[in-house]
Amino acid sequence: MNTPPLAESTGASIAARLHASQRELASRWLEQLTQILPVDKREVFPTAQLLDHIPELIAEIAQFLRAPKDEAIAANTAVMTKAAELGALRYQQRSSVHQLLREYHMLGTILEEFITSEVSRMGATADAVEALDALSCVSQAVRVLQQQTVDTFVGKYSETIERQTNQLRGFTRLISHEIRQPLGVLQVLARMIPAQDAQGRQLVTTLERNVVRLGEVAGKLERLARLTRANDDNLPTEQEVELSALATDVARQLEDMATTRNVSVEIADDLPTLITDSGRAELALVNLIANAIKYSDPGKTERYVRVRNVPGPGASIVIEDNGIGIPKHKVVMIFEQFVRAHSDRDEELGAQGLGLGLAIVRECMEAMKGTVTVTAVEGAGAAFTLTWPAPVVAS
């Protein structure tokens, strides 16, 4: 024997009453919304279409109670479109996901209270199972509509973030390019300016030093632009990397800098081999080793930078030096952009920079799903530990 359709039961009565009370319930919902949304009451639903969609949603939920369960509310294009419009509206009004969830929680509570009241009014004639089924259907419908609204809301924010990221990336590349063009002219002029006396030579030296510094700024801007493209394309960036060979190559790149400052760079030959992004690994090592050389202690006879393995699970190496270290109050912020530990000693150390090097190291390690940490004592040196969670290749 077939089960009587919902339209002939307690559920049908609840659905009919819900449909008849749609405007009253919509008004109740609207009144509560004005208390949580950061907009004027008239802007909660600023157009007639959206204002009408409140009772429409409730009417559709009532219809959902009458229909077989295989006729899901999500199949109603018009209603799902209204739910999406609500998400777009709340995005424009700068609401939050939390506020959206509260909106639908309020609607769900209002409808549940209404059904409970109706069942109580029906008394002994009400079928408890069908009443529970009606409550379940209402909760399901509210969840579906809520999901559509939230998905649209989050999608709008994702589009904005992506657009702003692309704009920032383009701006960074443009600035880097525009800086490099006049730099070439300045470099040529610096070589052509006659330095006939001590003052002239000093001016030329100052010009050359600042041209070099601008070149470093342009290079770092380019690196930052590359870092923001972490997952823009599907090109494979991970490969087998022998850290000993990579660090040795980096030391070779920095040989002139180390020789000028009388710093020895020692690379252990037992550094791990792992699967990672070789470009980012190299960029992290370049910045750390260059920093260690740059901030070597001129007061020490022996000056060194050592890159060695850290035994343990995974892959960890440490870049340590006996340089001038880092002031204690600067250690906690050293990986932030534009933070420099010894900007007051630039003239003495012949060091210049923007405070981006260690921020770039952090960005690189985060992109490789790794970490960088530091221990340092002012006047005694620093040790930076790089750790990768990527699979280590057996030696």
Tell whether 336 and 372 lie within a shared domain: yes
Count of structural domains, the chain? 2
Tokens of 103: 């909106």
The full length of the chain comes to 395
The domain containing residue 2 runs over which residues?
A: 1-229
205 with 282, same domain: the answer is no
| Last residue of one domain, picked from the residues 229, 254, 276 | 229
Please state, in angstroms and rounded to a whole number, the distance separating the CA atoms of residues 60 and 84.
15
In the numeric block, which tokens belong to residue 237?
A: 């960036």
Confidence of residue 7 (pLDDT cuts 50, 70, 90): very low
Q: Which of 184, 204, 229 is the last residue of a domain?
A: 229
pLDDT grade for 267, boundaries at 50, 70 and 90: very high
Tell me the average pLDDT across 346-363: 70
Average confidence (pLDDT) over 2-9: 47
Mean pLDDT of 266-279: 90
CATH code of the domain containing 295 = 3.30.565.10
Same domain flag for 328 and 180: no
Q: Give whichever of 130-139, 149-158, 297-306 has the largest mean pLDDT.
A: 297-306
pTM > 0.85: yes or no: no
When the pLDDT of each residue in the chain is averaged and rounded to a whole number, the result is 77
Q: Which of 13-22, 43-52, 244-253, 273-282 has the lowest mean pLDDT?
A: 43-52
pLDDT value at residue 6: 39
Strand partners, 377: 381
Contact of 300 with 261, CB cutoff 8 Å = no
In this prediction, residue 353 carries a pLDDT of 57
Domain stops at, among 198, 229, 260: 229
d(CA 82, CA 52): 10
224 and 159 belong to one structural domain: yes
